[in-house]
Amino acid sequence: MKRKLIVLTFVLILILIAASGCQAEQKQTLSILNYDIYMDKSLLAEFEKANNVTIKYDTYSTPEEMYIKVKSGASKYDLIISGEYMIERMIRENLVNKLNFDNIPNYKYIGDDFKNHVYDPNNEYSVPYFWGTLGILYNKKTVDASSDSWALLWDESHAQRIIMMDSQRDAFAVALKLLGYSLNTVDEKELDEAKDLLVKQRPLVMA
């Protein structure tokens, strides 16, 4: 239910922006930057046809890649789908504008648990798209099914058969969790320990 609501809010933002162009009888272009696996391209084509707009759709694989695209200024985007920590960084560097919530009436249906977070404490720049968790996928034919620790990703018996998320935030989260620290720690000593643990893991990782 939550995922449906958040996706609906995202689609509504597009509809309202495009509607202003339709009223003026002028076909407008909507520029979007999103994770490469987050949206079915057929949905974009349907939206273009239904609303007489052109969508310029760029994608990225990691938040860091997204940040470089936005920071360079080579392309201007109307809508960016990003992780929370990059939102905070872009706000701090004045790379994004405040939202006009008069154009997002369905925002009132977003649950309070998804509002007032540290990366956007006053809910001025972002609207939740969806949320999820990070876990471990393993082949139970080759891995002990009783394993329930992140230490599995440092097991030398699985060397060169381990794949990690291509994301600094997620990689550090795994290392911090294994060390027993908060995933949101800002303690330099704890972050250094997590970094050392990831460096130690590197020879074991295939990709």
Give, for 65, the enclosing helix (H) or strand (E): helix 63-72
| The model's pTM | 0.67
Instruction: With a cut of 80, say whether residue 132 has pLDDT above it.
Output: no
Give residue 147's pLDDT: 67
Instruction: With a cut of 70, say whether residue 5 has pLDDT above it.
Output: no
Give residue 73's pLDDT: 86
Give residue 12's pLDDT: 36
20: tokens are 């202003």
Q: Which domains does the chain have, with CATH numbers?
A: 2-114 (3.40.190.10), 150-204 (no CATH)
Instruction: With a cut of 90, say whether residue 55 has pLDDT above it.
Output: yes
86: tokens are 């990059």
Kindly report, residue by residue over 31-51, the tens digit of the pLDDT.
Answer: 999 988 888 889 899 989 998
Confidence label for 176 from pLDDT (cuts 50, 70 and 90): very high
Instruction: Report the C-alpha gap between 119 and 73 in whole angstroms.
Output: 22
| Nearest-10 crossing angle of helices 2-23, 41-51 | 40
Kindly report, residue by residue over 192-201, the tens digit of the pLDDT.
Answer: 999 999 999 9
